[in-house]
Amino acid sequence: MNRKERAAETLARLGEAHPDAHCALDHRNAYELTAATILSAQCTDERVNMVTPVLFKAYPKAADLAAAVIGDVEEIVRSTGFYRNKSKSLVGMAKRVTEEYGGRVPNTMDDLLSLPGVARKTANVVLGNAFGMNEGVVVDTHVQRLSGRIGLTTHTDTGKIEKDLIKNFPRESWAMLSHLLIWHGRRVCMARWPHCGVCTLGKDTCRSFQPDVEK
């Protein structure tokens, strides 16, 4: 099975196994998703989802967050870790969105990358989930781990992994692909103990399949 064939089979099987896969960060618009994704660095989605309702109640729009006192934001996001840097990024992002984009988060890769606290991973999250645009594949720790295990890439660098995934998966699947890999990584193919015995991919698709590994 070549890499494109493995990619097609992976997409089909994971789609059947995880029909409920979706963005785990609660949000109602691009502004909320951008802020939530900034907060998600080195933090669980569950924790972020506990913090963001308080954040967005205090600062419902980018203009509100742009005018915030950093110390007040720090108190709200403290539990997400690295709260000082995250608060600085949040307020900086909101200021640029307010001053340069009329209060609306932009929907192009270049413009998103101009926002404080936004790198390619965050931009891919926002474009794929807030705007429905497949401009790239989100490569988080789950996607990185599973891509190597399954045999979709031989790289460990996130940028090179993304290029391999883009090359072998159809563009219309890029946003959903990351959700499927993330959900599979959380439910079945865990970092320390992959449940190969119940994995939908099986030995014919996954290069790391071990039949003696059960749940």
User: 110 an active-site residue?
Assistant: no
- Answer whether CATH 1.10.1670.10 is correct for domain 3-21+137-198: yes
**Separation of CA 164 from chain center:** 17
Task: Please tell me the predicted confidence (pLDDT) of residue 213.
Answer: 53
- Cβ partners under 8 Å of residue 69, min gap 6: none
Residue 139, CA distances (Å) to 78, 81, 144, 160 in order:
25, 21, 6, 10
Marked catalytic residue, from 111, 140, 164, 212 = 140
User: 140 an active-site residue?
Assistant: yes
Domain made up of 30-130: CATH architecture? Orthogonal Bundle (1.10)
Residue 83 phi, psi dihedral angles, 5° rounding: -65, -30
Q: What is the location of CATH 1.10.1670.10 in the chain?
A: 3-21+137-198
Cα–Cα distance, 137 to 89 (Å, whole number): 23
Marked catalytic residue, from 86, 95, 121, 164 = 121
pLDDT tens-digit profile, the chain (215 residues): 899 999 999 999 999 999 999 999 999 999 999 999 999 999 999 999 999 999 999 999 999 999 999 999 999 999 999 999 999 999 999 999 999 999 999 999 999 999 999 999 999 999 999 999 999 999 999 999 999 999 999 999 999 999 999 999 999 999 999 999 999 999 999 999 999 999 999 999 999 998 765 54
Task: Please tell me the predicted confidence (pLDDT) of residue 1.
Answer: 84
Q: What is the location of CATH 1.10.340.30 in the chain?
A: 30-130
